[in-house]
Chains A and B, each alone.
Chain A
Amino acid sequence: MLQRLFKFKGGVKPATNKAPSVQAPLRIAPIPPLLVVPLHQSIGGQPTPLVEVGDRVLKGQPIGAADKWVSAAVHAPTSGTVIAVEERVAAHPSGLLTLSVVIEPDGQDEWIERHSLDHASLEPERVREILRDSGVVGLGGAVFPSHVKLTPAASVPMDELVINGAECEPFMTCDDLLMRERAEGIVRGVAIFRDLLRPKRVLIGIEDNKPEAVATMQAAVEALGENFEVVAVPTRYPAGGAKQLIRVLTGKEVPASKRSPEMGVQCFNVATAYSAWRAIAFGEPVISRIVTLTGNVEQPGNWEILLGTPMQEVIALAGPKADTNRFVMGGPMMGFDLPDLSAPVVKATNCIIAGSPTLFPPPAPEMPCIRCGACALACPHELQPFELYWFSRSRNFGKAQEYNLFDCIECGCCSYVCPSHIPLVQYFRFAKSEIWSRERDKNMADAAKARFEFRNERDEREKAEKAERLAKAAAAKAAEKKPDLPQAAPEPVETPTVDAEAAKKAAIAAAMERARLQREAAQPKNTDGLTIAQRKEIAEIEKRRAPLQAQQQAKPNAEGVQTQNSPKDQQ
């Protein structure tokens, strides 16, 4: 099985630093005293909460339901009591808050009822649904819901299914350990993906600095009698980027404007395949993941950690050394500094690196770009980072987009090689989020304009209609008046003199009374089928309303007396 390999342009070879964390076997982390499970852990819509404060939840019980197709469910990582559903710090570079379910474990770790299924006997649609409801998302770090990617394109036949075990980021070894210890599960998961997508070939790409993983995977494939090809790819960052790995294994280049299924190829991470197998064959949703703890710590290694475990608990497992001054989530090339250690482990947390001034020396000051072109040579997407940098820096975002800013995968190769120490990726991230925000503003402005124009039109139309009605009424009156002119004349003179004022007041009072009765009789009709959050909100509003209503009940009486009296007084 000789596999012809292709090359991607650019790339760098940073020191891998992987050795320390692969010595120890995979360990299972203890249940922490408190779990904070964010509801929004994947790309797509925010799942709706399914539990309330005080509920007892079982291990694997859904606590957030996927709210649309591109979304994935979230589950309780262990059994316990929900003590809060509130905004908590997110594992995000901003350190902002996100809606989370806080669970106090009861230590019994009691599973919800699980069903093991055979995917071959199920409709493909059903399998995708199970994957969504089990919260299976891309565990390589992109956290894109897997069931969406498992829908083959209607027009293009699927040629290759690429399974990504390259793990090119320095320091990171979670996929390596998973492949060494749980190869069989991965291969069975890949078989599920294969049956859903029906590709012609299945290629498992692993960087050649992981010979043990290649060997175990090969053995597992053979043992299970599958015809998957396990391919060792040359070690070069970012070989584990989905587009780079596809390029290396199939020679296909996926442009930013296209999704890979349109090119007849799809790519999944090994950990995703493993979690899909657990979900189908054991009914176990994604409630934990393997995280590499490494860097400036006493005991680097890989741990299987429950989602929602606060970072400080996780870090304590590895024992950070005294001079640790920062923690990076993700790899050193693409990760970010954790702003707050109370943030929880989420599905995207593949690695936590403790940093120290010696491990990550502070960067040299940023110097002007000398247009040496080193960044362009290193860019795996054949972009021109120096041009992108120039345009991002001067906020010339239109031009930056012309130079394909959105093809940039933020791999960091350009910043890595830049002799002027320019944090290029930071500029690109800044430019991208600025462009997105402008797009949002623009959409809002367009919508506002449309609504404004619609409103004006409606006003005009209503005015015209009213004028027309009045004209018609006037015409009708004129027509009526003509025959009995002498009789009609005295009538209008009579009424106003008697009690115009009083009648008006009485009418108003009656209307108010009617409105009050109506209000009292009114029952909200849309009270069933509400989500927990809505129900809670209603309860809160009712609570706030109670005292006011009591006050109001006292007032209308007083007013009622007045209004009832006034007409009489006048008469």
Chain B
Amino acid sequence: MLTAILIMALGAIVLGSALGYASIKFKVEGNPLVEKIEAILPQTQCGQCGYPGCKPYAEAIAEGEADINKCPPGGMEGVRKLADLLGREVKPLDAEEKPKQLAIIDEQLCIGCTLCIQACPVDAIVGAAKQMHTVVESLCTGCELCVKPCPVECIRMEPIAEKIDNWKWKYPVFEIKPATRAA
């Protein structure tokens, strides 16, 4: 009887110390779940989810405070991926899904106030005080944050046009093209 208790106690001590050691040795910095969620979010940093950026939203999802259908730039595709990752129900997007956009500054009207530069979260606008400003197309994420601050309303959003470089084959069910084959 006593030996049995001793053995159990010894086992508990050994395992407990091993676990304790492991928790110190293999400590994970940050929350891995937040990182995984953030990897799915589009990093537009637009705040349309009601959080000040993608990371805060990711944290809120991980905490269980926020729903997964709040990110319009991510679209339904994003909701689906989040649902997959978190094992939650897929829900319809809590906003209108928009095509990807690009900010365009009307260079005739720009007065060079630099307000849009300050608003852009990804430094996609170049210009200097009292000089014309312009958007670097390849860097713009289409977050719309620069539209409001402009005092002369010279920034507009335009959907990204389909070009040969970004053209995609359609899902066959929507566009039934007869398969061509030799008779």
List the interface of chain A (C-beta within 8 A of B).
Answer: 14-17, 40, 90, 92-94, 96, 98, 170-171, 328, 332-333, 335, 337, 355, 359-363, 366, 412, 415-416, 421, 423, 425-427, 429-430, 432-434, 437, 440-441, 444-449, 451-452, 454-455, 515, 519, 541, 544-545, 548
Contacts and interface: CB of A to CB of B under 8 A. Distances in A.
Could you say which of B43, B130, B176, B182 has the most chain A C-beta atoms within 10 Å of its C-beta? B182
Contacts of B42: 441, 445, 448
A355 B180 contact: yes
17 contacts: A90-B164, A94-B162, A96-B163, A98-B164, A332-B182, A360-B181, A363-B179, A363-B181, A366-B176, A425-B179, A430-B168, A445-B44, A448-B139, A451-B123, A451-B139, A452-B43, A548-B108
Contacts of A429: 169
Could you say which of A92, A171, A449 has the most chain B C-beta atoms within 10 Å of its C-beta? A449
A415 B164 contact: no
Contacts of A541: 107
A502 to B, nearest CB: 23
B177 A423 contact: yes
A416 B168 contact: no
Contacts of B181: 14, 332-333, 360, 363, 412, 415-416
A437 B182 contact: no
A426 B168 contact: no
Interface string B44-58: 110000000110000
Interface string B155-179: 0000000111011111110001111
A399 to B, nearest CB: 12
A94 B167 contact: yes
A7 B131 CA distance: 67
Please classify how large the interface on chain B is, using the bins under 10, 10 to 19, 20 to 34, 35 or more: 35 or more
Contacts of B38: 449
B18 interface: no
B152 to A, nearest CB: 14
Contacts of B45: 448, 452
Contacts of A98: 164
Interface string B29-73: 000000000100111110000000110000000000000000000
B122 interface: yes
B149 interface: no
Contacts of A421: 179
Given A361-B183, A446-B43, A515-B130, A423 B108 contact: no
B141 interface: yes
Contacts of B41: 445
A360 B178 contact: yes
Given A446-B43, A452-B45, A328 B121 contact: no
A337 B167 contact: no
Contacts of B122: 448, 451-452, 455
Nearest to A416: B181
Given A448-B43, A448-B45, A449-B54, A171 B177 contact: no
A96 B167 contact: yes
B183 A15 contact: yes
Contact of B171 (A430, A446, A548): A430
B165 to A, nearest CB: 9
Nearest to B100: A441
The 3 A-B residue pairs with the shortest CB-CB distance in the complex, in nearest-first order: A14-B182, A445-B43, A433-B168
A519 B170 CA distance: 51
Nearest to A459: B118
Given A333-B181, A432-B169, 15 more contacts: A15-B183, A96-B162, A361-B183, A363-B178, A363-B181, A412-B179, A416-B181, A429-B169, A430-B171, A433-B168, A445-B41, A445-B43, A448-B141, A452-B45, A452-B121
Contact of A335 (B124, B168, B180): B180
B99 to A, nearest CB: 13
A452 B130 CA distance: 25
Contacts of A441: 42
A447 B139 contact: yes
A17 B130 CA distance: 69
Contacts of A432: 169
A544 B182 contact: no
Contacts of A171: 182
A461 to B, nearest CB: 14
A415 B179 contact: yes
A449 B183 CA distance: 53
Interface string B86-113: 0000000000000000000001100000
Contact of B169 (A332, A433, A446): A433
B127 to A, nearest CB: 14
A363 B169 CA distance: 19
Nearest to B161: A96
B180 A337 contact: yes
A423 B182 contact: no
Given A362-B178, A447-B139, A544 B108 contact: yes
B164 A94 contact: yes
B167 to A, nearest CB: 4
A448 B170 CA distance: 28
Contact of B180 (A17, A96, A360, A445): A360
Contacts of A328: 180
A452 B180 CA distance: 48
Could you say which of A427, A448, A451 has the most chain B C-beta atoms within 10 Å of its C-beta? A448
Interface string B139-153: 101000000000000
Contacts of B167: 92, 94, 96, 433
Contact of B164 (A92, A362, A412, A416): A92
Interface string B10-39: 000000000000000000000000000010
Nearest to B40: A445
Contact of B172 (A416, A430, A437, A548): A430
Nearest to B166: A437
A94 B163 CA distance: 9
Given A449-B54, A455-B122, A427 B182 contact: no
A402 to B, nearest CB: 16
A170 B182 contact: yes
A416 B122 CA distance: 49
Could you say which of A412, A430, A445, A519 has the most chain B C-beta atoms within 10 Å of its C-beta? A445
A451 B125 CA distance: 12
Nearest to A447: B139
